[in-house]
């Protein structure tokens, strides 16, 4: 039964969630609150990851797979990965989600960010043809154990949400540059060419956008 519920959620969620968030914005209710109040709050990816970690919950895996596998494939193809390789990496990334579920730390990141870093590292390793040191090892410098404060528990998801909100605060021009640079992985020179603006303008827009983002996140701590 749990399996069926998850599968149903899988089909309904993405659109539903967006509509709910939109409703929440108009009603000036935070997206988190909307998720909490809605009937669809069972879509709690952090709980799904925990279910995998604690009891190898396959239904939870099915739900996460339905939501994230097509997103990982989309992310990889946007950044220039061939469809068949993107399919393979999406598969590997989801297996890594299963395997590493116990290492997921909700204080450190939201589930989307965590899964993003898994896919990113697999992509880096592919690009380097496994010749270099694994991306896990280099990016693990971030994992060192800073002391956690009690209120850190909500921080991962909260942080993701701040970034989402901050993205909406950016000017359309800044948002476009951030999208091209970080969501589509375009080099600065190519962005300048695509948009028909000087390279310096690309950099200054990115700098302003990053500063804005950091400011939003610093309000958290």
Nearer to another protein by Cβ, of 23 and 183: the residue is: 183
Nearer to another protein by Cβ, of 33 and 139: the residue is: 139
Least distance between another protein and beta carbon 23 (Å): 17
Least distance between another protein and beta carbon 47 (Å): 17
Residue with tokens 């990141």: 109
Least distance between another protein and beta carbon 39 (Å): 21
Nearer to another protein by Cβ, of 140 and 193: the residue is: 140
Nearer to another protein by Cβ, of 38 and 113: the residue is: 113
Least distance between another protein and beta carbon 90 (Å): 6
For 116, the token pair is 């993003």
């Amino acid at each position: 039964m749990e399996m069926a519920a998850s599968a149903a959620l899988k089909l309904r969620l993405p659109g539903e969630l967006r509509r709910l968030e939109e409703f929440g914005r108009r009603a000036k209710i935070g997206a988190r609150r909307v998720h909490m109040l809605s009937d669809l709050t069972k879509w709690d990816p952090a709980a799904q990851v925990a279910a995998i970690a604690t009891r190898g919950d396959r239904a939870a895996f099915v739900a996460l797979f339905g939501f994230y596998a097509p997103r990982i494939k989309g992310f990889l193809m946007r950044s220039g990965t061939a469809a068949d390789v993107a399919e393979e990496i999406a598969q590997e990334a989801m297996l890594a989600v299963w395997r590493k579920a116990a290492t997921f730390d909700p204080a450190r990141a939201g589930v989307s960010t965590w899964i993003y870093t898994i896919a990113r590292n697999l992509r880096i390793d592919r690009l380097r043809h496994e010749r270099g040191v694994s991306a896990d090892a280099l990016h693990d410098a971030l994992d060192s154990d800073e002391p956690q404060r009690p209120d850190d528990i909500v921080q991962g998801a909260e942080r993701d949400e701040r970034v989402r909100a901050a993205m909406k605060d950016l000017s359309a021009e800044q948002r476009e540059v951030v999208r091209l640079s970080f969501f589509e992985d375009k080099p600065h020179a190519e962005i300048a060419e695509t948009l028909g603006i000087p390279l310096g303008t690309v950099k200054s827009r990115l700098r302003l956008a990053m500063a804005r983002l950091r400011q939003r996140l610093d309000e958290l701590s």
